[in-house]
Structure 1
Amino acid sequence: MTDADPTDADPTDAAPTDAAPADDGDGAGEVVQAFVRGLAVIRAFDAENPELTLSDVARRAGVTRAAAGRFLRTLQTLGYVRNDGRSFALTPRVLELGYSYLSALSLPEVAQPHLEALSRSVGESASAAVLDGAEVVYVARVPVRRIMSVGITVGTRFPAAATSMGRVLLAAASAPVRDEVLERVPLTALTPRTLTDPEALRHELDRVRAQGWARVDGELEPGLQSLAAPVRSRGGEVVAAINLSMTSGRYSEAEVAERLIPALLAAARAIEADLRTP
């Protein structure tokens, strides 16, 4: 038995019986567990783990080696995964899985030129993100220089509580959404400066909501500072956030207040104006 061709049995993939109905009905609230596990296999890969052995995939996805092997072979047959004989990796075709969402979401297309203009005007990277549970997901980005150990691309996810865009989005979210993040999701210390006390974070979100922008310095990664502002839909709902990211200490407090924040807020308003355009 090789790592790329498992043969061990997986009881969770046994054929359905009368006592265990097949996962192909349409009952309300029904979850197809095989599909859930298949998505977990895809999500096992990330920027820090672009190539994984079968055992790595099984461990990260929380499935048996046999199940991981079946899912990987299926994905390979469909063209979403490649295998070099030892390890597996996603192929560019996996981007198709998110294309429908991005195609239906006008925000990236609307935001991109404004992010490019913002980045040119201040000389720093600019991005846009939306909230997905306890994480932010990047939907548009204009990089200037690499200032993080992990590369950021469209689709990159970070904990919302530790990012400027996440705090802008959480500050505007409903109370149940904030409670979900602050009470049920562990606030992990990503750096010594990460805010991990739920009550302190609540106060910070109140401050962000009152001032209309957020600033995070060294909480996601040492030496990284970011500023974020909300983007509102035609109906006034905060649907996204944009940010500027830079090296900590690169600018004086006066320059941040007098140049960077006004430029960021102006870009957010410009995006909103375009979103309101029929």
Structure 2
Amino acid sequence: MKSVTRSLRILEAVAQHQPVTVGELTKIFELPKSTVQRTLVTLSEAGWLRASRKDTTRWEIGARVLAVRPAALQGSSLFAAAREPMVRLRDAVNETIHLSVPDALHCMVVVDRVDCDHTVRTFHAIGDTSPLHATAVGRAVLAHLPKQDVEELITRGLERYSDTTPADADGLRAELDRIRADGYAVNLNQYRPGVCALAAPVLDEGGAPLAAVAVSMPDSRYDADRVPEWGRLVAATAAEITGRRQGA
């Protein structure tokens, strides 16, 4: 139990002081550097911590923390603004609706979901993560990030998850241009086999993406003729969440 307690205390310290170095944590806890480093690596492998993008010698909170945030998130402006519009969108299309937030450029994290009543439906567990370039929610966010962030993601490499994953730089850039023009992103089996989705971004006061809301469905119910209709609905829902959060 001592190791569990130590891990939790180090996790709390990173949350309080992030981005923080091993040396700084060693001083805080008066522990051997090797012990702190081993704990950090373990927490990182589990997704609770990650190295800072700006300085890889420093540590900060990772995506997995968001998996235990739903109860706390319910009091936040984002969750409060999103819930009712998500329910209305579900009622309009009778498909699964989910809300995801970006963990920097590392991944998207599902933080809320409204299920449809189809026996066969898509399922996204709270805390599930997915790559930005291969998903509708991720590309909806990418389309509204600064160009240098997009180029950084491309430089890291675009992993291919299916034959349709946008895994080349020019193709991804062109897709992001289309998303900005249309107002929504489309995913046709590009990440999970048999899963299609449409998503639009929730923006902050300065136009930066805070989250993305998506309609998700099995590809057996995907209908290309309905994409403009679904796209308008999901974009309108994202715009409503943006406005509600900003008090419009």
TM-score, with length taken from structure 1:
0.64
Match of 2:124 among 152, 167, 186: 152
Give, in angstroms, the shift of residue 218 of structure 1. Answer: 1.0
- Contact kept, 8 Å, 1:234 with 1:275, in 2: the verdict is no
Select which of 196, 216, 230 maps to 1:225.
196
Larger relative CO (CA 8 A, sep 6+): 1 or 2? 2
- 1:38 matches 2:42: yes
Q: Structure 1 pair 265/37, CA: closer, same or farther in 2 (3 Å)?
A: same
The count of corresponding residues between Structure 1 and Structure 2 is 203
Unaligned runs of 5+ in 1: 1-19, 45-93
Percent identity between the two aligned chains: 30
C-alpha distance in 1, partners of 2:82/2:204? 12
Secondary structure of residue in 2 paired with 1:111: helix
Aligned to 2:99: 128
The letter for the 2-side match of 1:136 is: M
1:135/1:41 CA distance change after superposition, 3 Å: closer
Distance 1:249 1:116 in 2: 23
- Aligned AA (2:46): I
- Give the CA deviation at 1:264: 1.2
Residue matched to 1:270: 240
- Name the CA distance, whole Å, in 2 between partners of 1:140 and 1:22: 35
Q: What secondary structure is seen at the aligned counterpart in 1 of 2:125?
A: coil
Alpha-carbon contact 2:112-2:126 (below 8 Å) kept:
yes
Aligned partner of residue 162 in structure 2, secondary structure: coil
Superposition CA RMSD, Å: 3.0
Matched, 1:142 2:114: yes
Task: Note closer, same or farther for the CA distance 1:118–1:103 as it changes in structure 2 (3 Å cut).
Answer: closer
Is 1:235 matched up with 2:206?
yes
Give CA deviations for 1:12-61 in whole Å, capped at 9, x if unaligned. Answer: xxxxxxxx9784237xxx9x5244223135339xxxxxxxxxxxxxxxxx
Shift of the alpha carbon at 1:168? 0.9
Contact 1:147 1:224 in 2 (8 A): no
Amino acid corresponding to residue 199 of structure 1 in structure 2: D
Q: How does 1:1-278 map to 2 (within 5 A)?
A: 23-25=25-27, 33-43=37-47, 98=69, 102=73, 105-132=76-103, 133-144=105-116, 145=118, 147-148=121-122, 151-184=123-156, 186-248=157-219, 250-257=221-228, 259-277=229-247
Kept after mapping to 1: 8 A contact 2:99/2:113: yes
TM-score by length of 2: 0.71
CA distance in 1, matches of 2:214, 2:67: 26
